[in-house]
Amino acid sequence: MLRLPSERSGVYVLGITVVGAAVVLYSAVDLVRHPVGIGWLILVLLTVVSGWAMLRIPSMPISFSISDIFNIVAALLFGPSAGAISAALDGLVVTSRFAHSQRTLDRVLFNMAAPTIATWAAAQVFFALGGGRSPVEGPLALVKLLGFLIVFGAIDFGLNSGLVATAVSFERRLPAFAIWREHFADMWITYFGGIFGAMLLMVLSRFHTLDILVLLVPLPVILYVTFRHAIGRAEDQLDHLAKVNRVYVAAIEALAHAVDAKDQVTHDHTRRVQDQTLRLARALHVGESDLQAINAAALLHDVGKLAIPEHILNKPGRLTPAEFEIMKRHAAIGADILSVIGLPFAVAPIVRHHHESWDGTGYQDGIAGEAIPVGSRILAVVDCFDALTSDRPYRPRMETDEALRIIGERRGNMYDPGVVDAFFLMHAQPAAAPVAAAPLAAAAPISAAPTPQPAADDREDLEFQAAFELGRGLASASALSAFGEMLWNQSRRHIPASAFVLYTYDEVSDAIVAAYQGGDMEARHETRIPLGERLSGWVAATGQTALNSDARLDCEESARERSTLRTALVVPITVDGRCAGVLSFYAERPEAFNEIHRRFVERVSRLIWEMMAALSGSETPRRQGVPQ
C-alpha cells in the first residue's frame, strides 16, 4: 500500500477511486444476489485480522502481512465479487495503520480501490480461462491450476503495483516504469507466495471447504506469533549492534580528538576536511561503501601524527629535510594503526595514500593515476585546500581565490583532474586548465630556500665582533626600556631586520609580554601572547629558534593584511631550561635571515639574560616583563 499525497495527481486518483467504487458496488450487488456462504465470511475475518496484525521489518521501511493469501483464496474459491470485497476491506485495514496525518480521504479511498480493481480483474481472467469454474478436477488439473494461478498472480501484481506506481509518477514527475522498477519490482515474490498458498487451499477445498477453513484458522495465529518473536529477537540484535556501532564511532571520534589535541596548529582541520570530502565524494557519485570508507578516512587521515614528535609537528617554521622525512611517516603509521583496528570499510589504504600524487611523485609508495584509491584522490584535494586556507606556523591563511588558483595549477600533476574539476564546480569556480609547471610535491611548502652566506673565514670574526659590541652597549642600560632600545639599535647594524620586539615572560599569566618594540611597527604585533601560541609564543614554549617563519603570525589578526613584514627570526631567552623571554626580529623581504644571523642572536640571548633579569627585577618586583 502507498501513502499517497494528493497534490498533482487528483484527477488520476479520482478516476481510480470511481472505478474501484463501481467494482465494489457491483460486487456487493452480486453477492446479495448470489450468496457464497459462511466460508467466505471466515476468509474475510482472516483477511481483516491478518491485515491488522501487520509486522514491520526493524530499521527498514518495509512491512508485511499474510492477508494477500486470503484475498486470493476468496477470489478463486468464491468468485471475483467475493475477492473484490475482501481486497477492499484489506485496503481499508492496512490504511488504518498509517499515521493520522497520512490518513486523508483520498489516500484511504485510493488504497482501497487499487487492490479491489486488481483482484477483481485477475479473478475474471482466471475464471474465463477455466470456463467459468475452478480447474481442480480432471486430467492434469494441478498443472492447469498452476498455470491459471500464475496468470492470476501476474495480472493482480501488475495492476496493483502499476496503479500505485503511476500515481507516484504523477506526484514526483518521474517515469512510471522507473518508479515501478525501483520500488515494486522485487515484491513479486510475495504475490506468488500467496498464489501457492491459495493453490494448496483450493486443492484441500475439494474435501469440505468449511472444515478446511476451520482447521486453517490457527495457521495465521501461529505464523504471526512466530514472526513476531523472530522480529523481536532481530530488534534486540539491532539494538545491540547500534550500541556497538556507537562505541565504534566514539572510538573514531576519540582518535580524531587526540590528533587535534596534539596538533595545535591544525585544530578542527579534520572536521572541516571530513565535511568537504563527503560533499565532494557525493558530487562524484561515489558508491555507498566507498562513501563510508571516505567518511572515516577523512576523520582519521592524520591519526599517524600521534607518533610524530611535537617539536616537529608544531614547528612554526620550515622543516629541514630530515624533519620532513619524519613527518612523511604519519601516513603509513596512520594506515598501520587503522589496519589493526579492523574497520568494516577499506579505510587504511585511503589514509596511506592520501599524499600520493597523480603523476607518481608523492608518498608513501609513489603510485600514480587511478592506482591511487579514489578516496585518497578526493581527500588530497580537500586536505590541501583546507591547509592553504588555514593559518600555519610558517604562513597565514590564504584567501579562497588564491587557494583555488594553486589547486588549479596542481591539476594533472599532483591531483586527479576529474576530482579538481568537481571541486571547482562545488565551489562555483571554473576549473583551471593544466599548466606546464613542475609538480609541486608535498615537501615544497616546508623546504627552506638557500640563503647566500658570507665566506666561512669571515663568519666567526663577524659574530664575535658584533656580540662584543652589543654586550658593551647593553652594559650601560639602566632600565628595561632602555635595554630593549639599546639591543635593537646595536642589533640592526648586523641583522637585516625592519622591526623588533623584546618579549619577557610573565609567570602570573603564563604569557610573554612585549617589553620593548622598535622599528616599523605599523601593523601592530600582539603585546601579550599566551605561552605556546602564535610564533613567538611557540618559540618561548619549546625553546627552539624559528628561522624565516612568517612574521605576520605575530600580528594582531585584524592587522595582518596591511603588514609589510614577511620574515621572522625568533630566538628564545632561557635559563636552566626555563623561559625568560624572546627576541623577535622581523624583515620585509622573504628569507631575509641566514645561519649567521641565527647564531649571532642566539649568542646574544645567552649574554643578556643576567642583565635583563636584574633590570626586570628592580623595576617590577612582583610581575616580570611589564612594558615600560
Concatenate the DSSP letters of all residues of 346-374 into one string.
--HHHHHTTT--TTS-SSSS---GGGS-H
pLDDT of residue 416: 92
- Candidate from 219-233, 366-380, 556-570 with smallest mean pLDDT: 219-233
Smallest CA-to-CA distance from 153 within 184, 118, 117, 129 is with 118
Do 47 and 173 meet the contact criterion of CB atoms below 8 Å apart?
no
Q: Give the total number of structural domains in the chain.
A: 3
Q: Are residues 430 and 470 in the same domain?
A: no
Do 158 and 180 meet the contact criterion of CB atoms below 8 Å apart?
no
Q: Are residues 421 and 482 in the same domain?
A: no
- Categorize the per-residue pLDDT at 452 as very low, low, confident or very high, splitting at 50, 70 and 90: very low
Q: Is residue 598 in some structural domain?
A: yes
Instruction: Tell me the CATH number at 498.
Output: 3.30.450.40
- Candidate from 409-418, 441-450, 505-514 with smallest mean pLDDT: 441-450
Judged by DSSP in three states, 285 sits in coil
Cis, peptide link before residue 490, omega less than 30° from 0? no
Q: Is residue 2 in some structural domain?
A: no
pLDDT of residue 484: 82
The domain boundary residue, chosen from 157, 190, 215: 215
Domain range for 525: 456-619
619 pLDDT higher than 60: no
- The one-letter amino acid code at 15 reads G
379 pLDDT higher than 90: yes
> Which position has the higher pLDDT, 74 or 357?
357
Number of other residues whose CB lies within 10 A of the CB of residue 133: 8
Highest mean pLDDT among 140-144, 450-454, 592-596: 592-596
Q: Are residues 162 and 13 in the same domain?
A: yes
Q: Are residues 486 and 541 in the same domain?
A: yes
What mean pLDDT do residues 404-425 have?
A: 91
* Number of Cα atoms under 13 Å in the Cβ half of residue 579: 29
As a whole number, the mean pLDDT across the chain is 75
- Phi, psi of 359, rounded to the nearest 5 degrees: -95, 5
Q: Are residues 430 and 492 in the same domain?
A: no
Alpha helices in 510-550 (DSSP H): 534-542
> Which position has the higher pLDDT, 208 or 116?
116
pLDDT of residue 583: 92
381 pLDDT higher than 90: yes
Q: Is residue 244 in some structural domain?
A: no
Number of other residues whose CB lies within 10 A of the CB of residue 339: 15
What mean pLDDT do residues 111-124 have?
A: 88
Percent of the chain at pLDDT > 70 equals 67
255 pLDDT higher than 80: no
Tell me if the pTM is above 0.95.
no
